[in-house]
Chains A and B, each alone.
Chain A
Amino acid sequence: MTTSDTPAARTEGVWKIFQQEAESVQAVRGVSLTIERGEFTALAGPSGSGKTTLLNLIGGLTRPTRGQVWVAGHEVSSMSSQQVARLRLREVGFVFQAYNLLPVLTALENAEFPMLLQGVDVAERHARVRELFQRTGMEGLEDRRPGKLSGGQQQRVAVLRAVASRPALVLADEPTANLDSATSEALLDVMAELNRDLGVTFVFATHDGRVMERCRRLVRMVDGAVGEDERRT
């Protein structure tokens, strides 16, 4: 069931164990976590703490070894690849460290791409994307290819791509890692504004102090498990 009361995402006793030759690595160990709609949450921790793996588990990019994952009320672990792909298309937006825009599409086409896949009609796609470009100070850059945009601008387009289709949650993996301080702050402003004004749920995997400072919930990961879950007002 999917309602506005349904959490954006939930994990229940989730484990992820990777086999590396003879050794098995427990990247995520029995994590139970609920992400409510409208949250602005950071999964923080040092490298190897399991934050990116947990993000991938929530986004259906990888399957749990044990435990269950729900996204917008849908249990992901038992779904087929096609079903997970369709769920991602409807309910999950991604922002990656390396921007990862499609180089053959313009900024506007990149931002509208998930909506294009969803079959949203062109007028609505353009209206939504242009409004977001305007809101985030990207107006005038719509027709540029990624190669003609700065790193900060590319990451903004990536954020717009993640939010434009109005997913249940946006998963951002180290979104500021490749940006300088000023650009990082500006990007975080954009995401905070989208969260505040449009209610977009953001979950970050980060070890950037600036991101952690801005989040209203901070989940500290230690050795694949949740060490501390701090909520701020």
Chain B
Amino acid sequence: MIFPILVRLALRNLRRYLRRTVLTASAMMVGGAFLVWSMTIDRGSHEQWVDSGVRLGSGHVTVERPEYRLRRRIEDRLTADVSRAAERALASPEIAPHVVATSAKLDVNGLASSAAGARPAQIVGVDPVAEADFGALDDEVIEGRYLEPGDRLGAYVGVDLARSLELDIGSRFVVQAQDAQGEISGQLLRVVGIFRSRVPAIDQGTIHILRETAGEWLGSGGDVTNVAILLEGSSATAEVASRMERALSEPVARGEARVLGWREANPVLADAIAIDEFGNYVIQGFLFVIIAFGIVNTVLMSVLHRQREFGVLRAQGLTPGQTGTLVLIEGLTLSAVSGLVGVGLGLLGTWYFFGDGLDASVFMQGMDELTVSGAAIDPIIVPIFGVRLIVQIVVFILAIGALASVYPALRAARVDVTEAMKFDR
């Protein structure tokens, strides 16, 4: 077996040019550490974007009628059969472990009016206990409190809507919307709480009421327009969506329901993440192109300085392929060792310095709130570590090392033995 011999030679050659090896390895280590830091922070940041976005209503996975998203009308609600089938699926052992919270809502567009005027509003009928686990609005109270079971006429109103309708805690106002019979129907409500989400569209037009109240008002009984499912993390979205779709295959086939992942339910957020990821990949790509040139330089210089040596190896009986493999092993070993050390340092450093979160508020000076696709983002970004991510980084570093070593390896493999022996070095 010639491979162990080549590995031994490669290791000794790396040790032979120790200073050059260490300098290149240092660049790779810094690159690997940066990649870990940047990707875990990115992952944490994007997960936070997704979490903030899905908590606004649609969840990681949502079940609704196909037409509902376009029109948001009461006749586009789920039938009781579909809701029950969704509940059964959510309780199944394949799906339940992934689910953190669910929220079945009756969510329609309507008009809110008071003595001060009228404003369009999104009126959301919720189960306040489930919504407290699911959403984030219940934590954004600035006056009064969130809804409680038994608040039959209670309304939880966005701050800007409350201001424009001149509503305070205890104020009465009326909401109107099309009911299940197609008639315009009104409902008197009383403000129990006012919230500020810091997302203008929500603060200007969202009202939470009890789902039972909404059902009675709109004549839809216990029906809901959508069932939103919050998962332990966005990575389980595809699996849960697929299982839900299988469980609801009949109503889906009849056109009575569809299952959406958060990317389909919130394409603007998905696009924002894709654009941000692309930007990050470009920066990381540039960094690694520079590092790759460093490796090419180190390995190629080493090859050019060792022409005679390659001639000797070939004269001793090494084939061109084996000679190239020797150089490839050198480049790969350099990349692998330094890359792994870099990844290790990156993990350690990111966990030690940023394990509790990176405070990005310094980059938000002059801004009240950072929002992405209508969702307010917490400026504290907690990195997310994952085996798959680390494996991806290591594979990426090895690929860079391999690519950077190909040209020097070809140069070594193509050495002309008689010319190399004349090489005076």
Contacts and interface: CB of A to CB of B under 8 A. Distances in A.
B13 interface: yes
A104 B13 contact: yes
A140 interface: no
B312 A96 contact: yes
B258 interface: no
A133 B247 CA distance: 80
A61 B9 contact: no
B317 A100 contact: no
Contact of B315 (A61, A104, A116, A118): A61
A88 B16 contact: no
Nearest to A96: B421
B312 A102 contact: yes
A61 B308 contact: no
A57 B315 CA distance: 12
A82 interface: yes
A103 B16 contact: yes
Interface residues of A, number: 26
B309 interface: yes
A88 B315 contact: yes
A82 B16 CA distance: 29
Contact of A89 (B15, B16, B309, B317): B317
Contacts of B319: 81-82, 85-86
Nearest to B317: A89
Q: Which applies to chain B's interface (DSSP): helix, strand, loop or mixed?
A: helix
A61 B315 CA distance: 7
A114 B12 contact: no
A103 B310 CA distance: 12
Interface in A160-209: 161
Interface string A39-64: 00000000000000000100101100
Contacts of A70: none
Contacts of B311: 100
Nearest to B13: A104
Interface string B309-329: 101111111111110000000
A113 B308 CA distance: 17
B165 interface: no
Given A85-B317, A117-B2, A105 B12 contact: yes
Contact of B321 (A82, A96, A104, A119): A82
A102 B314 contact: no
B420 to A, nearest CB: 10
Given A105-B12, A116-B5, A94 B320 contact: no
A98 interface: yes
A99 B2 CA distance: 24
A98 B309 CA distance: 11
Nearest to B6: A117
Given A56-B418, A62-B418, A100-B308, A117 B12 contact: no
Interface in A103-121: 103-105, 113-114, 116-119
B20 to A, nearest CB: 14
Contacts of A100: 308-309, 311-312, 421
Contact of B316 (A88, A103, A104): A88
Contacts of A96: 312, 315, 421
B1 interface: yes
B417 interface: yes
Interface in B11-55: 12-13, 15-16
Nearest to B424: A98
Interface in B267-319: 308-309, 311-319
B418 A114 contact: no
Contact of A117 (B15, B309, B318): B318
B316 A114 contact: yes
Interface of B: 1-2, 5, 9, 12-13, 15-16, 308-309, 311-322, 417-418, 421
18 contacts: A61-B314, A61-B315, A61-B417, A61-B421, A81-B319, A81-B320, A82-B321, A85-B317, A85-B320, A85-B322, A86-B317, A89-B316, A90-B317, A94-B312, A96-B315, A98-B308, A104-B15, A117-B2
Given A88-B317, A100-B421, A114-B316, 11 more contacts: A56-B417, A61-B418, A81-B319, A85-B318, A85-B320, A86-B319, A102-B313, A104-B9, A113-B316, A117-B317, A161-B316
Interface of A: 56, 59, 61-62, 81-82, 85-86, 88-90, 94, 96, 98, 100, 102-105, 113-114, 116-119, 161
The list of the 10 closest CB pairs from A to B, nearest first, reads: A89-B317, A104-B12, A85-B319, A100-B312, A61-B417, A88-B317, A94-B315, A82-B319, A62-B418, A56-B418
